C-alpha cells in the first residue's frame, strides 16, 4: 500500500528530474521539485515551464518548486535525479534534512570517477546510516516521460516490501515500473549503456552503417553483462529493461545525448566544442573513464568501452580506434 508514500521529493531540476516529478504527480503523489539554480525554480513558479531544460512541457500548479534542500527532504520518499558525478555532493547537502528511514530512489546513471563507486555506494557514504535505497533505471527519454507517453522501467530494491511500496507509489497507466532485487545489475546496465551509445553515435557520424551499429549493441551488451557479473549482478537482469531495453533505446536514436555526442565526434567535431554547446550532461563522457578503470581493476575485458575512453580522454583518433576494434582476433561468440 502507499499510505507512507503520499509526498515525493525530486532532487534535481534538469530534464529528467522534471520528467520524474511529472510522473510522480500522475501517480497521485504530492510532489516537490528541488533545483540547484534559483532561476530555474523561479521560472517554474512564474511560467509553469522549465524552459532551460524541458521547454514546451507545461507544469501543473500542483508541482511545487524550491531551491531549499529541506523541501524534498521532508517528503515520504526522495528521488535523486542529479548528474552522476554530482550525486554524492548533492546527497550530502540533502542528508542533514532527511527524516530517518526516508527511502532514497537513485535515478542517476553512472559510475563515479576516482572512486569507481556505483551510485548506491556513493550515496550510502553520505546519507544517514540505514537510509533505505532503491534504483530506478531503464529506457527513458525525459521528454517522452514528461509528456506522459508509455514508458516501462526497472525499479531495483533489495528490500522487497519497500520495493513494492515504491512501485505502487510511482506506477501509473503510462509509467510502469518492474521490480527486481538486483540493484547492482540495474546500475551497471544504466551506466555502461551511455558509453556504448557514444560508440554507436560515432558509427552514425562516420556512416559505417546499421550492421556496425547492431554489432556494437550486441557486443556492448556482452561487455555490460561481464562487468555486472564481476560485481555481483545477475546476467538475466541485463536482458531486461535496465540492460537491453535501455541500451537499445540509447543506441538507436539521436534524441540520446550520448549518441548525438558520438555522432558529432564521428563527423569530426572536437569534444570540447560539442560540450560547450550543451547545457545538458552526456553522462557517458565521464562514465567511460570510470568504467575502464573499474574493468581494469576487476580484470574484465571491455574493448568497446576502452575505445570510447581512448577517443574521449586519450586523444586517440576516431579512424585509428575503429581500425583497432576491427583488427581484434576472430573468436567464438560468447557472453
Nearest residue to 176 (alpha-carbon basis) of 194, 199, 158, 149: 149
DSSP 287-316: HHHHHHHHHHHHT---HHHHHHHHHHHS--
Angle value at C-alpha 209, between 207 and 213, nearest 5 degrees: 110
Tell me, yes or no, if 193 is annotated catalytic. Answer: yes
Cα 86 from Cα 327, distance rounded (Å): 37
Cα 299 from Cα 282, distance rounded (Å): 26
Cα 226 from Cα 168, distance rounded (Å): 32
Burial of 139 (0-12, 13-18, 19+ CB in 10 A): buried
Gap between the terminal Cα atoms of the chain: 40
Cβ atoms 148, 125 nearer than 8 A: no
Cβ atoms 123, 148 nearer than 8 A: no
Cα 61 from Cα 173, distance rounded (Å): 21
DSSP 11-40: E--SHHHHHHHHHHHHTT-EEEEE-S-HHH
CA distances, 217 to each of 196, 222, 235, 311 (Å): 7, 9, 16, 18
Of the residues 193, 213, 226, 289, which is catalytic? Answer: 193
Q: Give SS3 for 118.
A: strand
Cα–chain-centroid distance for residue 190? 5
Q: What is the set of active-site residues?
A: 193
Amino acid at each position: 500500500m502507499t499510505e507512507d508514500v503520499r509526498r515525493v521529493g525530486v532532487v534535481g531540476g534538469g530534464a529528467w528530474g522534471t520528467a520524474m516529478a511529472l510522473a510522480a504527480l500522475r501517480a497521485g503523489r504530492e510532489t516537490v521539485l528541488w533545483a540547484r539554480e534559483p532561476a530555474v525554480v523561479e521560472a517554474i513558479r512564474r511560467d509553469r515551464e522549465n524552459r532551460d531544460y524541458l521547454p514546451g512541457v507545461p507544469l501543473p500548479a500542483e508541482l511545487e518548486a524550491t531551491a531549499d534542500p529541506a523541501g524534498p527532504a521532508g517528503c515520504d520518499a526522495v528521488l535523486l535525479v542529479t548528474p552522476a558525478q554530482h550525486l554524492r555532493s548533492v546527497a550530502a547537502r540533502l542528508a542533514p534534512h532527511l527524516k530517518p528511514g526516508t527511502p532514497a530512489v537513485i535515478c542517476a546513471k553512472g559510475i563515479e570517477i576516482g572512486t569507481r563507486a556505483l551510485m548506491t555506494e556513493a550515496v550510502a557514504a553520505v546519507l544517514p546510516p540505514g537510509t533505505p535505497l532503491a534504483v530506478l533505471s531503464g529506457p527513458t527519454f525525459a521528454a517522452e516521460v514528461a509528456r506522459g507517453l508509455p514508458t516501462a522501467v526497472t525499479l531495483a530494491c533489495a528490500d522487497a516490501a519497500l520495493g513494492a511500496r515504491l512501485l505502487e507509489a510511482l506506477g501509473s497507466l503510462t509509467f510502469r515500473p518492474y521490480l527486481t532485487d538486483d540493484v547492482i545489475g540495474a546500475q551497471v546496465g544504466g551506466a555502461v549503456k551511455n558509453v556504448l551509445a557514444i560508440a554507436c553515435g560515432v558509427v552514425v557520424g562516420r556512416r559505417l552503417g546499421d550492421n556496425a551499429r547492431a554489432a556494437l549493441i550486441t557486443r556492448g551488451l556482452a561487455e555490460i553483462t561481464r562487468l555486472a557479473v564481476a560485481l555481483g549482478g545477475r546476467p538475466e537482469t541485463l536482458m531486461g529493461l535496465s540492460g537491453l531495453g535501455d541500451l537499445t533505446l540509447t543506441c538507436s536514436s539521436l534524441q540520446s545525448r550520448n549518441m548525438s555526442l558520438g555522432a558529432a565526434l564521428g563527423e569530426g567535431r572536437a569534444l570540447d566544442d560539442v560540450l560547450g554547446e550543451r547545457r545538458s550532461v552526456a553522462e557517458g563522457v565521464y562514465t567511460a573513464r570510470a568504467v575502464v578503470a573499474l574493468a581494469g581493476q576487476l580484470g574484465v575485458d571491455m574493448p568497446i568501452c576502452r575505445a570510447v575512453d581512448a577517443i574521449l580522454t586519450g586523444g586517440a583518433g576516431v579512424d585509428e580506434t575503429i581500425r583497432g576494434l576491427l583488427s581484434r582476433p576472430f573468436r567464438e561468440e560468447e557472453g
